[in-house]
């Protein structure tokens, strides 16, 4: 019964227990036992799965969540994988994405600034700090990347945004609706906060980006930045950022990313 690491993060011991409930609910109806074994230093969740329907359960988890390519040998060129942004102020020339490669050491996927410029801002020579601001990038924001280059000797992985990730941003921009990104809170916590503050009247939906990462889609005319002070005091352990399509369009001159 091997221990596998899911492409899902947790940010506290309580959330680790909650993740177990999520997983058991996902596999309800299958004859399997799933146990949470813990999480590593970066929060990736380790599990064991056993039982009559083990193969079916593992296939389902691989499709719905994915498993970390824990070693560099497991990373395949041109594959797509859902990672998490690491500290956005780590470099001025590249974006670091944690794709769950941590054995024997952490190896992040690197997206060079030039790739970000080509994919997100029409090839303009825009500073990484500005791109981070425009797209609401923050630590542990989930996004899908495509692996372009692997250098085992140098422990180096180069990547770019996947087509699906770009399509998501394109759809978000076309909607013209602000989104409040919440990292490190459950959907239940967000729902309770919305009721307490009354800002559920300003929201269309809470869309899951991961177990504890969500994008709150605001109604037209609602400024996501204005919601941060109202809900921040209830979600003190969460990291909040905003995605503002109008600001992006104004910067790009109404050109949609591609």
This prediction has a pTM of 0.94
The domain segmentation of the chain, as residue ranges, is 3-64, 72-161, 169-252
Widest Cα–Cα separation across the chain: 57
**By the 8 A CB rule, do 125 and 117 touch?**
yes
* Confidence label for 92 from pLDDT (cuts 50, 70 and 90): confident
pLDDT at 241 over 80: yes
Same fold, 3-64 and 169-252: yes
Residue listed under structure tokens 């921009």:
173
* Confidence label for 1 from pLDDT (cuts 50, 70 and 90): confident
Q: Which of 19, 70, 25 shows the shortest CA–CA distance to 45? A: 19
**By the 8 A CB rule, do 117 and 123 touch?**
yes
Q: What architecture (CATH level 2) is domain 169-252?
A: 2-Layer Sandwich (3.30)
Q: Which of 76, 16, 75 shows the shortest CA–CA distance to 46? A: 16
What pLDDT, on the 0 to 100 scale, is given for residue 192? 95
Q: What architecture (CATH level 2) is domain 72-161?
A: Beta Barrel (2.40)
Q: Which of 171, 244, 237, 177 shows the shortest CA–CA distance to 204? A: 177
Percent of the chain with pLDDT over 90: 91
Q: Which of 82, 238, 254 shows the shortest CA–CA distance to 168? A: 82
Sheet holding 3-9, edge to edge: 3-9, 44-50, 33-39
pLDDT at 165 over 90: yes
Our CA angle for 111, 210, 81, nearest 5°, is 35
Q: What is the pLDDT of residues 194-215, one digit of tens each?
A: 999 998 899 999 999 999 999 9
Task: Give the pLDDT mean for 226-247.
Answer: 94
Q: How far apart are CA 94 and CA 113, in angstroms?
A: 5
Q: How far apart are CA 246 and CA 250, in angstroms?
A: 6
* Confidence label for 124 from pLDDT (cuts 50, 70 and 90): very high
In 43-88, which residue ranges form alpha helices assigned H by DSSP? 54-64
Q: How many CB atoms lie within 10 A of CB 112?
A: 17
For domain 3-64, the question of CATH label 1.20.120 is answered with no
* CB-based contacts of 222, cutoff 8 Å, min separation 6: 178, 202, 203
């Amino acid at each position: 019964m091997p221990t596998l690491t899911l492409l899902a993060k947790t940010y506290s011991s309580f959330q680790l227990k909650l993740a177990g409930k999520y997983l058991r609910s996902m596999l309800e109806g299958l004859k399997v036992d799933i146990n949470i074994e813990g999480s590593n230093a970066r929060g990736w969740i380790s599990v064991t799965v056993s039982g009559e329907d083990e193969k079916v359960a593992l296939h389902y988890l691989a499709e719905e969540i994915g498993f970390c390519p824990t070693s560099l040998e497991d990373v395949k060129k041109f594959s797509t994988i859902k990672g998490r942004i690491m500290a956005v102020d780590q470099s001025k020339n590249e974006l670091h994405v944690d794709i769950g490669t941590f054995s024997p050491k952490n190896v992040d996927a690197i997206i060079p600034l030039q790739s970000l410029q080509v994919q997100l801002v029409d090839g303009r020579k825009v500073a990484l700090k500005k791109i981070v601001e425009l797209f609401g990038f923050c630590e542990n924001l989930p996004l899908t990347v495509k692996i372009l280059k692997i250098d085992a000797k140098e422990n180096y992985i180069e990547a770019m945004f996947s087509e699906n990730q770009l399509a998501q941003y394109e759809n978000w921009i076309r909607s013209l609706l602000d989104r409040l990104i919440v990292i490190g809170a459950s959907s239940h916590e967000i729902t309770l906060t919305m009721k307490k503050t009354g800002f559920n009247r300003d929201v269309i939906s809470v869309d899951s980006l991961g177990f504890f990462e969500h994008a709150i889609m605001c109604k037209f005319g609602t400024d996501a930045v204005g919601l941060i002070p109202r809900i921040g005091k209830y979600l003190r352990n969460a990291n909040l950022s905003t995605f503002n399509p109008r600001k992006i369009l104004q910067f790009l001159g109404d050109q949609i990313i591609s």
